Each structure stands twice: as structure tokens, then as C-alpha cells.
Amino acid sequence: MALTAMASEGVVAIGASAGGIEALTELAAGLPPDLPFAVMVVIHMRVGAPSMLAKIMDRSGPLPAAAAIDGAVLEAGRIYVAVPNNHLLARDHRVVLSDGPWESGRRPAIDVLFRSVALDYGPRAIGVLMSGLLDDGVAGLRAIRAKGGITVAQEPTDALFPDLPRNALKAGVADYTVAAKDIGGLLTQLADRDIEEQVMDPDGRLELENQIAMGARFAISVDAEELGPPTAYTCPTCKSALMALGENTYRCLVGHAWTPEALLLARDCELEETVSAAIRILKEKAKLSRKLAEGSSPGADFERYAASADEAERAITVLGEGLLSRTARQ
């Protein structure tokens, strides 16, 4: 397919989550008007919720920003913002929008964008991870570095929610750490650096993950042997078996992917839902037992119904106290 516009030689891929609007606004204000790379932005967003991020970034700095359109050429000096319920990727210097499987319960996901630019741009990719919770994007920064690109994390003390940049630093995958307002100046230097062209070694696992993310939901038949060894875990989304892709990612046979932190949070949510359901059932049991006891004459039936109600109420107390204690620790 012939390009109808001049494709950028490099790309800046930016990921953020909670607190990301503020961080991205500061970043956009500091971008140079002559940035020679295209800019792609993913922020976690709710399914079905409208996103105003493109308009916010467009009026916050000198570079034009717009919602990403599938198939658009990635041009230098332009910002392409992810849209709700679609992964944002790069392929052959063009935008790809995909409704591929959720990753860490998200679509769009940061790791998806970072992996794709690592494969498409190699040493001409720059990954930036900003304010947010958990660890989506950490594995993606690792992929960018592995392909010769440069990685940047927002200074954790500068982020409203420091988990994302802090986890990147903890994993040792950030080459630079700066405040949001200073990232634009750093990008100017990095885009102007001498880039040594290199032949990238194929990475079957990375390419498989990229293929899964680009595919339509449920369209990819995932071979468990290609993914990695099985684990004792199940996917919170579809309950199929999870395979280990290295130490930092799990993926199921349907294609859903999970980082360790996101998987742990999903288990917490499942636990709370399960305990809440158990408390509801116990309350119904206690209420029904009391009603039956009230309608019974003194004797064996009355004692059995009363004991059943007492047992259910004790269990409610224990489960409720445990749930409150776990919530207080979070």
C-alpha cells in the first residue's frame, strides 16, 4: 500500500493511567513544535466513555493532536491518541486500531502500544511511562529497550499516582527519569541523537503477542505451547488456563493477558465479590431460619432453626470482619 503522506522515521509512544490527564497536559505543553517523530498516546479509559484527551492535548501544546484513525500514516510532529475500547498499535508506519483481547483488563492497554512500536521502529522508538496505577507498560518498556529503543519514566515524585513509573524503575527498564514538564526537552535531544541502524533479531514471543493484540476478539486461536508453560492460575476474564510468558506476563488460550500486579488486583476483586455473595446468602439463611423458628413450637424444630440462624449470623460476622480488615490494609 503506497503512503499518501510522509511517514515519520521514529515514534514516541506514551502510556499513562490514573493522573495521566494532568501529566500529559504538562508533557504536551513542553513538546517542541518541530519534533521529528510521531507521538502515540494511550491512557486507560472506561469502555463506552467519551475521551476528550485528544482535544485537551491539542490545545495544551504546539503539536496538533487528534483521535487515532485506523490506517492513518504516522507523521512527524503529530499526536495520535487512543480511542475507547480499541488497542492502539503501529504497523508499517501506520496506525492500527484493534479490538483484540483485553490486557490486564484494559483495552486500550499500554503494553500493546509499546510492543508494537518496538517491533515496527526498533532503535527509532522512544517509550514514555507516566502517572498511573499497577504495572501496565513495564513489560512494553522492556521490549522497546530490547529492540534498541530508548525508555523514559516520569519522576515518581512528580506523578499524582507513582505506581507506573516506580514499577518501571524497580524493574530497571527506564533509561531516563524526568518530570512531566521536562519530557519534551528530553525528547528533542533523544530524537536528534545518532541512531545506529541494526538488524533486529526475530523475537517469536513478542511477535506472537503483537499478532494476538492486532487480531479481532476471539479470532485468534492461541497455541498453548507457543505461549509458554502452564501455571496453576486461571484467567479472571474467561476462566481459561493462564500460561507464563517469561516472568512478567501471563496469557490465556483466549488471548487475554495479565501483568502480575493486575492479576493480583483481579484476584482481590474476585475475593471481595465471592465473600459479598457468601454474606448475602448467609443473611438470607439467617432471616429464613428466624422466621421458621418464630413459627415453630418449642422443641426440636425450634432449636434447629434457631441454631441455624445463630450459625449463619456468626459466619456473617467473621466474613464481614475479614472483608473490612482486608479493605483497611489496601
CATH of the domain at 109: 3.40.50.180
- Asked if residue 266 and residue 187 are part of one domain, the reply reads no
In a domain, 245, yes or no: no
Residues labelled catalytic: 17, 44, 136
Mean pLDDT rounded to a whole number for the chain: 89
In a domain, 196, yes or no: no
- Asked if residue 297 and residue 156 are part of one domain, the reply reads no
With beta carbons less than 8 A apart as the criterion, state whether 117 and 9 touch: no
- Asked if residue 272 and residue 186 are part of one domain, the reply reads no
Q: Kindly report which listed range (60-74, 207-221, 233-247) carries the lowest average pLDDT score.
A: 207-221
Mean pLDDT score, 247-273: 87
In a domain, 206, yes or no: no
Confidence of residue 287 (pLDDT cuts 50, 70, 90): very high
Q: At which of 129, 162, 191 does a domain end?
A: 191
pLDDT higher than threshold 90 for residue 217? no
Q: How many domains does the chain have?
A: 2
Residue 259, C-alpha cell as written in the block: 501483568
| Cα separation, 14 vs 30, whole angstroms | 14
Q: Which residues contact 130 (CB under 8 A, 6 or more apart)?
A: 14, 15, 16, 20, 23, 24, 27, 153, 154, 159, 164, 165, 180
Show the domain range for 317: 261-329
**Closest-CA residue to 183 (of 6, 27, 55, 4):** 27
Which region holds residue 197: left if phi is over 0, alpha if psi is between -120 and 50, else beta?
beta
With beta carbons less than 8 A apart as the criterion, state whether 249 and 259 touch: yes
- Asked if residue 314 and residue 187 are part of one domain, the reply reads no
Mean pLDDT score, 96-120: 95
Q: At which of 191, 216, 241 does a domain end?
A: 191
Q: At which of 141, 160, 191 does a domain end?
A: 191
- Asked if residue 35 and residue 126 are part of one domain, the reply reads yes
- Asked if residue 175 and residue 287 are part of one domain, the reply reads no
